Structure 1
Amino acid sequence: MSKLGTLGARLHHGEVGYDFVKNRKIWYGISILITITAILGLTVRGLHMGIEFQGGAVFNTPKNMSVSVAKAEEYAEEASGHDAIVQKLGNGSLRIQVSGIDTAQADKVSAQLASDLDVKETDVAGELVGPSWGEQIANKAWQGLGIFLILVVIYLALAFEWRMALAAFVALIHDITITVGIYALVGFEVTPGTVIGLLTILGYSLYDTVVVFDSLKEQTRDITKQTRWTYSEIANRSINSTLVRSINTTVVALLPVGGLLFIGGGVLGAGMLNDISLSLFVGLAAGAYSSIFIATPLVADLKEREPAMKALKKRVLAKRAQGGDASEPEDAAVSDDAYDDDTEDSAPAVVGPRSQPASRGRGRGRPSGKRR
């Protein structure tokens, strides 16, 4: 832990770091590949919608059933002619969901299930679920998502600038697409819990992005008054200075969600936890990735197209060439003590320790430090 803390301090002060911005094309390529895979999953497999969205019936059996889940699922599908989902509850009873059946079909399915499971027909409690409630949930979710995105873009444009708002918007769409695509590939059932999980990850996805943007905003004040760093280099410093914090917050958030998904849903068989935990787990991981590898590099790309940033980059490279360091990569992270003999180019926007140059001739020949 002490080593991690030391690494975090060194990253924050710019003593060490990884050049995320320079390798941005690699990250863009990875994201495009994952996004295409997610879209193909949605196109080919589609989403497995729960009965809340397409209607159906839910049947509950008595406690301590000896029939296995697989066998009960086979019985339900044979009786209804539709796909069925069976969950074994803690008291040993079975919860059988059958989608796409009406009242008349539900009565027949209930009677057939009672016969197959060797229980009384009155012991199989059936409940019809209409699709209208699920449709209302979905419509409200889409409305909430649209309003959320609009408000986020407006806020980020006012608090930071439109380029950061655009980058954050792209990162959000990236995270949502990947999460929904993985849902399609895995084949988990989409329930209202899934919708709640998707809406929840939007805030988490923005959290790390806004932290990096805030650091970048502080470090790029009066950026054109210095010739030490380009905008991309300062953007890279912002990512590195907040990297450990982003990793820590993401890991802390993923641990309990991972417990729900892998232990609660996988080991203990509480399938209902999968609905919300998978969307949270994938969304949190995708949000952490996009804030580091997508949002900030995209802002740097957009800013470097500005005439002022192009001119700054030329001045920085020209100065390095004059200083005998022309071989340094354009997007490389520059240490804080570089060019410490040029006091007029000190950039107040860039945080980190700097070696302060001693004044020439100060104290020369007299203890008091005054000139003769």
Structure 2
Amino acid sequence: MLEISPIFNAMMRHKSHALLLIIQIALTLAIVANAAFIIENRLTLMNRDSGLPEAQLFKFDVFSFGKDIDLNQQMELDETMLRAIPGVIDAVTINQIPISGSGDNTIFMDRDDTPNKNNNDKNLHSKSNTPAKHVHTGVYRGDTHTLNTLGVKLIAGRNFSEDEIIYGNETQPISVAIVSKAFITTMFPELKGLEQQGVGKLIYVFRIPIKIIGIVDKLQSSQVTSSHIEQTIILPKIQTRNFYRFLIRTAANQQQAVIDKVENLMLKLYPNRVIRTPRTLTYLRDNSYADDKMMTQLLMILIVILFLITALGIVGMAVFNVNRRRKQIGTRRALGASKGNIIRYFMIENWLITNLGIVLGIALSILLSQFLMQQFSLPKLDNSYIMATMIAIWLLGIMAVYFPAKKAAQISPAIATRSI
């Protein structure tokens, strides 16, 4: 290690070259560490288990423009016909589709938190002076066939009964609901690990109490970018309007055969309507995560380019130093320096530059992470990504400088000193 001081002094005589490489290494560390963290974060989101038999599900939309139609009756006829198609496990009219990119959301509370209008003290609540818990929730509306069509697992409680379903413009308030396990643990944190005890609990929306009668293991909402995607609720309500949507679950390997029949059968049953192109849940998932997929691909390309540029920078500087120091290398060889001594010299020089770049890069990584947290609400950068990138840059530096250093070690003392 006694060689470090003279090597460092030699670097300072040509500090501009070393400084550029240090900055390049620092930027590579900062960008690659954060890019790798973002990639891992995006991949984790894209690979989340939806809890659904995605390969068996597809949806299509219907727009009825006929004036001579009873929508309630027609929707019932449509569902009956769809369930009778060979290969169909179940079908339901539903307001939104899981992981499709858009849908309904609302906020539920663990108690009625609306201030009493007859009380001037707005800080007083119906049951407690502490604020009620608010949970952002993806809202599904369906009937007794919703659970079976979705293919979700009911882990506690029961399904809706037929007399609990509210159709069309019926005005009676919804009184029961089925929720996801994640909804229970968010609304009632004390039930974490005891989610089944959530059956019978009351929740509130617009001052209306709703009793939880069932809990499903997992059901994601439509909005894949939401941090509340796992918090969902199913309400026993079928809305009557000219535009409505069907979700169909088919047997394995029967999906395309059913899709091919749907439009003709629907129009045969009632022709005065438009059937939009059926879309599989796999297609909707890919479409919803398309931006995330493109981002990960671009960041992967960026990482490769940065590593390549850094490697070329290290190689370029090493080759430049070898050519500039041919006479010095030859003199050292003539004075008894071995090939290993020459290789070690360039390796130590690269090690110094790399470490200086890494120190600066760590600071830049943290600053960049804080910026991304503030501007894009990303999680804090995990230190393991900085460490992994450091190791990658060290290994890259060793491989990049080794071959120029080995070439330098081949310089003959006679060739290097020929001009003397």
What range describes the TM-score normalised by the shorter chain of this pair? Answer: 0.3 to 0.5
Quick check: which one's helix share is greater?
1
Q: Which has the higher contact order (CA 8 A, sep 6+)?
A: 2
Q: TM-score, normalised by structure 1?
A: 0.34
Looking at CA atoms only, which structure, 1 or 2, has the larger radius of gyration? Answer: 2
